[in-house]
Amino acid sequence: MFKVLVSDPISNVGLKTLIEDSEIELDVKTGLEKEELLKIIGNYDALLVRSQTKVTAEVINAGTNLKVIGRAGVGVDNIDLDAATDHGLLVINAPDGNTISTAEHAFAMLISMARNIPQAHGKLKHGVWDRKSFTGVELNKKVLGVVGVGRIGAEVVKRAKSFNMEILGYDPFMSQERAEKLGITLATVEEIFANADFITFHTPLTKETKYMLDKPQFATMKKGVRIVNCARGGIVNEVALYDAIKEGIVAGAALDVFEEEPAVGNPLLDLPQVVTTPHLGASTEEAQLNVAIDVAEEVANVLKGKGFKNAVNLPILPEEDFAELKPYLKLGQKLGQLAAQLCSGIIEKLEITYAGNIADLKCEPLTRYIVRGLLSYHLADDVNYINALKMAKSKHVDIIESKTSTAKGFANLVSITVTTSNDKVKVSGSLLNGYGTRIVNINGYTVDANPVGHMLIAQHTDMPGIIGNVGTILGEAKINIATMQVGRKEIGGNAIMVLGVDKSISEDVIESLEKIDGIKKIFNVDLQN
């Protein structure tokens, strides 16, 4: 049974799949104080939030059973992604469900600001018929600057076009071709700031976008510019905005989001030029239902080990690409596990070569499986597919990947070389058509071993009697040999023996094996998981 905590208001109808799932126990506890959340989070496998719950490193540390954090919405700036990744926790969001609602809200805010609708409404509601104070401006033929032309930005563009606005757009990922398709002019952010009558922001809040509109940028703007921020507080510096309004540079600001929320008491709210809503961009029946359905489905899939598509802290391959790579994942993990058990010392470098037809695939997920296999020998469950690369970096393990079309007689070959403070180990594996995963080379010795269960790998001198002696000792210890491979480079030289055995070999048996004349080193390898 998986326990899921919902700590922000999320549509009950949208959560129906989780509520009705017999494998899931759902608790809805909204408005928890930080201390209360810290106290109970350790009981849950999944946490579902919107933007209110601050999922800090402290919460993540306390969530010892957490596997996934689901965000019913887009922005994940309330979640400490680094801490989640460090703990191998998957963070998923629901990026598509509130696009239209937020674009409509941004546009509603823009028009309200241009025509002073909230101010006039407020006055009339208080019994004052004031037609002089609220002369607005048209949108027709005005220049709209859209900063961030992703899902929401592009929808805002569509709506602005129907109002006959001239649109300048900036997004680091927008090509000239896409701009032309949207019917807008590709501009730099500086050009937008210098030329726009209205500027609307639709970027996430990142280190790069934090205060992208600040005092120096206001100084470059047209007098009378109007600003819309329905993305995130902190993209626009609120102190600088306040000053720019007071100085008459900015004629109006429409704000749905604030640096500190709830924004009660924010000085900007005292300015008549500011129209505002309390973070309502995604607050429609439709958006809330959409995001709840999406996040519920994804969280259930993650918990049950099924596929998911909206991971925030994990690169996701298109389904077709992942299907091609999937059969290799087990091979990658086993190669990593095997190499970890064949080497000693501090792991410094991992070199991976993808050869043959696998070189044509997008191998990043496979690299993660190899790294996970390698590090899990020492770090056990602390390392997983999500945090593997970060964990390697934090342990100062350099990862070097290369690809080549030639695979030395195999259709595909994955080779890994692990360099440690006192060792170097190379193992290669292949996915053999009809035979599954195979270890085909260990430190230059050709072998053909199925990487499963318990293995005994012995480095020895190629001389008569060794195989018999090993068999006798294992037989006396009641250890059944399932498979056996011997590889050598030259007669009487160094050789390797790879045995598949039915159970783990105890230390005293290993010691007896090590005493056999000609045996150089014994590795008791466990490839069970």
Ligand X SMILES: O=C(O)[C@H](O)COP(=O)(O)O
Ligand Y SMILES: NC(=O)c1ccc[n+]([C@@H]2O[C@H](COP(=O)([O-])OP(=O)(O)OC[C@H]3O[C@@H](n4cnc5c(N)ncnc54)[C@H](O)[C@@H]3O)[C@@H](O)[C@H]2O)c1
The DSSP code sequence of 500-511 is: EESSPPPHHHHH
Nearest-CA neighbor of 235 among 258, 253, 252, 251? 258
- Which of ligand Y, ligand X, none interacts with 152 (beta carbon under 5 to 8 A by kind)? ligand Y
Rounded Cα gap, residues 252 and 236, in angstroms: 14
Nearest-CA neighbor of 504 among 521, 471, 527, 476? 527
The number of angstroms, rounded, from the C-alpha of 343 to the middle of its chain's C-alpha atoms is 31
Query: Which residue minimizes CB distance to ligand Y?
Result: 150
Rounded Cα gap, residues 242 and 458, in angstroms: 74
Is the Cβ of residue 96 or residue 348 nearer to ligand Y in the bound state? 96
User: Contacts with ligand Y: how many residues (CB under 6 A)?
Assistant: 31
Q: Which helix (H) or strand (E) holds 413?
A: strand 412-420
Nearest-CA neighbor of 49 among 83, 105, 92? 92
Nearest-CA neighbor of 146 among 186, 105, 100? 186
Angle (CA) 114-116-117 rounded to 5° is 110
Least distance (Å) between residue 415 CB and ligand Y = 37
Sole binder of ligand Y in the list 208, 270, 319, 320 (CB under 6 A): 208
- Which of ligand X, ligand Y, none interacts with 151 (beta carbon under 5 to 8 A by kind)? ligand Y
Site for ligand Y in 243-272 (CB under 6 A): 256-257
Least distance (Å) between residue 230 CB and ligand X = 9
Is the Cβ of residue 164 or residue 206 nearer to ligand X in the bound state? 206
Least distance (Å) between residue 70 CB and ligand Y = 16
Nearest-CA neighbor of 224 among 201, 193, 252? 252
The answer to whether 233 contacts ligand X (rule: CB under 6 A) is no
* Residue 253 identity (one-letter amino acid): A
Is the Cβ of residue 230 or residue 499 nearer to ligand Y in the bound state? 230
**In a 3-state reduction of DSSP, which class is residue 450?**
coil
Site for ligand Y in 211-230 (CB under 6 A): 230
Burial class (CB in 10 A: 0-12, 13-18, 19+), 468: exposed
Q: Which helix (H) or strand (E) holds 192?
A: helix 189-195
Q: Are 387 and 371 in contact (CB under 8 A)?
A: no
Sole binder of ligand Y in the list 41, 79, 184, 282 (CB under 6 A): 282
The answer to whether 231 contacts ligand Y (rule: CB under 6 A) is yes
Least distance (Å) between residue 257 CB and ligand Y = 5
Least distance (Å) between residue 504 CB and ligand X = 50
The answer to whether 282 contacts ligand X (rule: CB under 6 A) is yes
The answer to whether 6 contacts ligand X (rule: CB under 6 A) is no
The answer to whether 74 contacts ligand X (rule: CB under 6 A) is yes
CA separation, residue 103 to residues 51, 150, 486 (Å): 18, 11, 67
Contact letters for ligand Y, residues 357-396 (x by CB under 6 A): ----------------------------------------
Structure token digits, residue 39: 């106290």
Is the Cβ of residue 92 or residue 335 nearer to ligand Y in the bound state? 92
- Which of ligand Y, ligand X, none interacts with 50 (beta carbon under 5 to 8 A by kind)? ligand X
Catalytic residues: 232, 261, 279
Least distance (Å) between residue 83 CB and ligand X = 19
- Residue 355 phi, psi dihedral angles, 5° rounding: -125, 150
Least distance (Å) between residue 121 CB and ligand X = 23
Q: List Cβ neighbours of 309 (8 Å cut-off, separation of 6 or more).
A: 298, 316
Is the Cβ of residue 73 or residue 332 nearer to ligand X in the bound state? 73
Sole binder of ligand X in the list 14, 73, 88, 252 (CB under 6 A): 73
Sole binder of ligand X in the list 75, 153, 252, 336 (CB under 6 A): 75
Least distance (Å) between residue 216 CB and ligand X = 27
CA separation, residue 194 to residues 29, 137, 185, 292, 433 (Å): 47, 19, 14, 40, 62
- Residue 304 phi, psi dihedral angles, 5° rounding: -95, 10
The answer to whether 281 contacts ligand X (rule: CB under 6 A) is yes
The answer to whether 148 contacts ligand Y (rule: CB under 6 A) is yes
Structure token digits, residue 15: 């959560």
Q: Which stretch binds ligand X (CB under 6 A): 72-80, 173-181, 219-227, 453-461?
A: 72-80
Place of tokens 């100062």: 396
Rounded Cα gap, residues 80 and 509, in angstroms: 48
Least distance (Å) between residue 497 CB and ligand Y = 55
Rounded Cα gap, residues 1 and 386, in angstroms: 23
Q: List Cβ neighbours of 396 (8 Å cut-off, separation of 6 or more).
A: 348
Sole binder of ligand Y in the list 170, 242, 258, 308 (CB under 6 A): 170
The answer to whether 11 contacts ligand X (rule: CB under 6 A) is no
Is the Cβ of residue 151 or residue 403 nearer to ligand Y in the bound state? 151
Residue 262: asked if its preceding bond is cis (omega within 30°), the reply is: yes
Contact letters for ligand Y, residues 96-135 (x by CB under 6 A): --xx--x---------------------------------
Sole binder of ligand X in the list 51, 273, 376, 450 (CB under 6 A): 51
The answer to whether 99 contacts ligand X (rule: CB under 6 A) is no
Interface positions with ligand X (CB under 6 A): 50-51, 72-75, 98, 279, 281-283
Interface positions with ligand Y (CB under 6 A): 73-75, 95, 98-99, 102, 147-153, 170-173, 202-204, 208-209, 230-232, 256-257, 279, 281-282
